């Protein structure tokens, strides 16, 4: 299978890709939802980290820090960083706290704290509005961190328009100069629904889900 189909099959198996009616942060009502927090088996996380590591190697972006925004980015950074290290990458990983800590050593960034001159890649599950990138940039600026964010790696590109007509990935690339790479896209999900590999479990009402996602893309997607 192609890597996009491998990811979607894994997500369906782990119930990390759901079909139905879901209200997003944007207020839009989506016919599908991606939740990497649903991965409960270590074997699933291991497979996911392999797919992310493959994506990173194909992107050919040079960075020395892998950063996972809390909360869903934390296990992704740890697992994918471990897989990359197994392949020979000698980098660091970090993530942030959601809540301030008023005891112990405090600090808002856990793991390696990026330094001036570092090149940072963010790893996330999906991006709909580019929130994690903006929040990470704001956090680095507030802490006086001069590291450069060079890439964002995500599992699914939802391909949705933002308020200015561009997708979140377009905004991130054009406004911040950050490369964005995804393992799969919403259109890959539609294709998977219509041609599920024979060795994967069939999805009930697959064609209906595919039509609803296509209609959603027609209303909110980018070409």
What is the pTM (predicted TM-score) of this model? 0.92
β-partners of residue 161 are: 167
* Cα separation, 40 vs 160, whole angstroms: 28
Q: Contact, 30 vs 221, CB < 8 A?
A: no
Query: Catalytic pick from 101, 148, 209, 218?
Result: 101
Helices (H), 15-90: 42-59, 73-86
In the structure encoding, which two tokens stand for residue 117, read together? 């001159």
| 72 is an active site residue | no
> What per-residue confidence (pLDDT) applies to 106?
59
3-220 CATH: 3.40.50.2020
pLDDT digits (tens, 9 = 90+) for 138-156: 999 999 999 999 999 999 9
Q: How far apart are CA 162 and CA 96, in angstroms?
A: 26
pLDDT of residue 141: 95
Active site (annotated) includes residue 98: no
- CB-count exposure of residue 48 (10 Å: 0-12, 13-18, 19+): buried
Q: From the candidates 98, 103, 181, 209, which is the catalytic residue? A: 103
* pLDDT < 50 positions in the chain: none
Contact, 32 vs 18, CB < 8 A? yes
Q: Where are the domains of the chain?
A: 3-220
Within the chain, what is the greatest distance between any pair of CA atoms?
Answer: 54
> 146-197: per-residue pLDDT in tens?
999 999 999 999 998 877 888 888 999 999 999 999 999 999 999 999 999 8
What pLDDT is recorded for position 1?
64
């Amino acid at each position: 299978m192609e890597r996009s189909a491998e990811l979607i099959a894994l997500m369906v198996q782990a119930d990390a890709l759901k079909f139905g009616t879901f209200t997003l942060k944007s207020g839009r009502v989506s016919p599908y939802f991606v939740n990497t927090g649903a991965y409960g088996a270590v074997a699933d996380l291991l497979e996911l980290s392999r797919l992310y590591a493959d994506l990173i190697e194909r992107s050919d972006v040079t960075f020395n820090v892998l950063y996972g925004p809390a909360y869903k980015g934390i296990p992704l950074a740890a697992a994918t960083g471990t897989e990359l290290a197994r392949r020979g990458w000698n980098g660091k990983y970090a993530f942030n706290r959601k809540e301030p800590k008023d005891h112990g050593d405090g600090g808002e960034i856990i793991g390696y704290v990026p330094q001036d001159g570092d090149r940072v890649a963010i790893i996330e599950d999906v991006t709909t509005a580019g929130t994690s990138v903006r929040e990470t940039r704001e956090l680095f600026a507030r802490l006086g961190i001069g590291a450069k964010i060079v890439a964002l790696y995500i599992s699914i590109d939802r391909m949705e328009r933002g308020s200015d007509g561009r997708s979140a990935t377009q905004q991130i690339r054009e406004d911040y100069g950050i490369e964005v790479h995804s393992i799969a896209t919403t259109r890959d999900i539609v294709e998977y629904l219509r041609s599920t590999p024979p060795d994967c479990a069939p999805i009930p009402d697959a064609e209906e889900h595919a039509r609803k996602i296509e209609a959603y893309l027609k209303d909110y997607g980018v070409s």
